[in-house]
Structure 1
Amino acid sequence: MARFLNKQDEKIGHPPGALIFVGQQKTEQPRIRLIDYDQNMLRDEFVDSIETLSAHKFSGSTSWLNVDGLHASDLMASIGSTFNISSLVLEDIINTGQRPKIDESAEAIFISLKMLSYDPIQTTVNAEQLSAVLTENLLLTFQEQPGSVFEPVRERIRRKNGRIRSLGPDYLLYTLLDCVFENYLKIVETMGEKIEEFDEEILTNPTQELLEKINFYKHEMAYIRKAVRPAREIVLKLVRIENELISPEISPFLRDLSDMSEQTVDAVEVYREMLNGHLNIYNMTITNRLNDVMKFLTVFATIFIPLSFLAGIYGMNFEVMPELHYQHGYYMLLSVMVLVVLLMLAYFKKKNWL
């Protein structure tokens, strides 16, 4: 499957809002986890039935419902009917090729973006879609597969670290987005360390293998950029949003998240430019080496032009030729050839051609 664009063949011909899963199934069975909390209470459990959760729509506590696995259309339809999520939003959730976006209404705010993960063995970056629906007391999140990116947030909830247990689902949404962008930065830094290692090698040992590495990292940074830039747009819109679901006390945190998003995009652009510079330096180094080889061969061929001329003259088969029958003519001709070579080398050196 293409990394930059998912095939949409199965959606062709279906009406808008049709729940057709687009993407690669990454988990066998969907998994639903509910975390319900306030300052004095915590409920953390896996849920088998969506219908039993309808009471959490209007509860006084903060509820976080996370779904791992997006391929079960019946389950998504049940979630939509239970929590009044529109079919168009559900369509965007199960379309894993959806471009990151944000939609708002008086009842809900919908966010969809990409989460990245780094494979240290293959040194590749993988992406999965994260969708979130924020309502008055409930945050629903949808992931393609179980992961550990949000485990620090769950640990903060369990241990009552910080203000997370005293604030609502809008702050919870901020903390999840903060984890996503921190993970962005971590991956970019990891890739950047490897890219910076090319600086010395590209001047001393510009091999074909190094060129392949440069092109590989250019592709990976383009893949990261495709996820990070739209995610920054989402954060910028969140900062400017005027919606009762986002309380004013969350605004400073969103502005800080906006700064982090700008830092992430800047880092991606810097390393993309660095890779372009590496590619230019590689081409320049190879060209200079080729020029040095051509200069050597040109000098070598130029030296042999007068030698070939002298050898050609005295290699002719005329019987009557001056100096042809000298007793030491062979050594005299060799001496002249050596003298010509030395004079030419001295001239080339004086002209800085060597």
Structure 2
Amino acid sequence: MSTSVHPFNPLHPVSREDDAQVKYHLIKYNSTEYSHQVFTELPPVLTPIDNNYKLWIHVEGIHHTDVIQLCEFYGIHSLLIEDILSSDQRPKMDDAEGVLFFLLYSLKLSDTYQHIRKSQITIAMTRNYIISFEEKKAVSSFQNLFLKLENKAHKSRIKDIDYLLYNLLDHIVDHYYVPLEKMGEVLENIEGEIMGRTNQKSLAKVNLFRKEILLMKKHVLPIKEIINTILRSDNKYISEKTKKYFKDILDHVAQAGDTLDNYRDVMMSLQELYINKLNMRLNEVMKVMAIVTCLMAPATVISGIFGMNFERIPGLNHAYGFYITISLMLIIPIIMLFIFKKRNWF
């Protein structure tokens, strides 16, 4: 199936590198039949559209030449090809010459629980097919969805291709809850550290984790706008019957956004708690130093008086003058210490 599209300029700069190995899933199905073939080369995937089957081509990994060839074969606009090959874009939905296009991200918390790992997923849909691309490092694989499609009782087998689109978007959004749960656990650990022994590492974790929360919000919240666009639009590929399912995705995105807002508030509270504990500890140190200074003041005054360079100083030739002076230096601070304690100054 060859369709004329605006030519894609291969000289246009892209930041994504080719993956060493790419896997192509060719899935054809209807209410009674299901076929799932996996290839490591593109040519077997380039098959004509058969209206008796729904077609889903899922590509694991990105290879520039193959992406261009695949998209041009199925009539995907050159601007959408550019989006597929580019990286670090904002999640979005687009409609270019009859192709409905989605760009989203799968998210995962790193093994060290300190960074969010993101991987771009792009989906192109028409009435007859869906073509999806995911980076090789993608964290929300569609293996579970493959298994669901094998089941004849699954709704996707009897519904239109737009229901498969719903399943793809729902699968991506549902995987956001995995890092969200882990982030909650990390927040509890950070809170325990701050409540215990506060140090600079605790503050560094708070600041780092707050940045990761903002990064996750940057990739999650735009999906709400995407789903609302689907619900408001009159796109011919998405039926009114299927739109009710997209409302479920909208609820999940809203819940994820609320959770991230709560995490952000917790991070702000932890930062304030850290600063308050630091100030309290500094106040304790200053109080101890002030008390020590006060207790040393009488000894300093007495030694200063008797250390003056005069010929006649009272008690200078007294037999017990030294011991009396030392006793005064000890007794006066002890009395002061008793007074401070009685007034609850420490």
Task: Give TM-score scaled by structure 2 length.
Answer: 0.89
Does the alignment pair 1:103 with 2:94?
A: yes
Counterpart Cα distance in 2 of 1:127 and 1:119: 10
SS at match of 1:63: strand
* Distance apart, 1:87 and its partner CA: 0.8
Please say if residues 131 and 141 of structure 1, whose CA atoms lie closer than 8 Å, have aligned partners that are also in contact.
yes
Task: Give TM-score scaled by structure 1 length.
Answer: 0.87
AA aligned to 1:322 is P
SS at match of 2:316: coil
Deviations 1:24-66 (A, max 9, x none): 436213332111111100111135445864522x513211111
Counterpart Cα distance in 2 of 1:205 and 1:23: 44
Q: Which residue of 1 aligns with 2:338?
A: 346
Q: 1:216 aligns with which of 199, 208, 219?
A: 208
Counterpart Cα distance in 2 of 1:161 and 1:283: 57
* Distance apart, 1:139 and its partner CA: 0.8
Does the alignment pair 1:143 with 2:134?
A: yes
Deviations 1:155-181 (A, max 9, x none): 101123531211122111111111111
Question: Cα RMSD over matched residues?
Answer: 2.5
Q: 2:179 aligns with which of 187, 190, 209?
A: 187
SS at match of 1:254: helix
- State the identity %: 29
* Distance apart, 1:117 and its partner CA: 2.9
Q: 2:119 aligns with which of 124, 128, 132?
A: 128
SS at match of 1:197: helix
Q: 2:320 aligns with which of 292, 315, 328?
A: 328
Structure 1: 5+ residue stretches without partners: 1-14
* Distance apart, 1:339 and its partner CA: 3.2
Instruction: Compare 148-157 and 329-338 and name the one that shifted more.
Output: 329-338
Please say if residues 139 and 169 of structure 1, whose CA atoms lie closer than 8 Å, have aligned partners that are also in contact.
yes
Counterpart Cα distance in 2 of 1:98 and 1:278: 31
Deviations 1:48-96 (A, max 9, x none): 445864522x513211111223332x32332232222111111111112
Counterpart Cα distance in 2 of 1:286 and 1:42: 64
Q: 1:288 to 1:146 in 2, by over 3 A?
A: closer
Does the alignment pair 1:65 with 2:57?
A: yes
Instruction: Compare 104-113 and 150-159 and name the one that shifted more.
Output: 104-113
SS at match of 2:68: helix
AA aligned to 1:18 is N
* Distance apart, 1:129 and its partner CA: 1.0
* Distance apart, 1:220 and its partner CA: 2.5
Q: Which residue of 2 aligns with 1:44?
A: 36
Q: Which residue of 1 aligns with 2:290?
A: 298
Q: 1:65 to 1:52 in 2, by over 3 A?
A: closer
SS at match of 2:28: strand
Counterpart Cα distance in 1 of 2:251 and 2:287: 53
* Distance apart, 1:293 and its partner CA: 0.8
Q: Which residue of 1 aligns with 2:3?
A: none
AA aligned to 1:89 is L
AA aligned to 1:288 is M
Counterpart Cα distance in 1 of 2:153 and 2:268: 44
Deviations 1:212-262 (A, max 9, x none): 332332233233222112223222222222212111111221111100001
Counterpart Cα distance in 1 of 2:167 and 2:67: 25
Q: 1:236 to 1:196 in 2, by over 3 A?
A: farther
Q: Which residue of 1 aligns with 2:70?
A: 79
Q: 1:26 to 1:91 in 2, by over 3 A?
A: closer
Instruction: Compare 298-307 and 235-244 and name the one that shifted more.
Output: 235-244
AA aligned to 1:206 is T
AA aligned to 1:167 is K
What is the aligned length? Answer: 338
AA aligned to 1:165 is R
Q: Which residue of 2 aligns with 1:171?
A: 163
Counterpart Cα distance in 1 of 2:79 and 2:16: 20
SS at match of 2:57: strand
Q: 1:55 aligns with which of 48, 56, 74?
A: 48
Q: Which residue of 2 aligns with 1:94?
A: 85
AA aligned to 1:349 is K
* Distance apart, 1:123 and its partner CA: 4.9
* Distance apart, 1:126 and its partner CA: 1.4
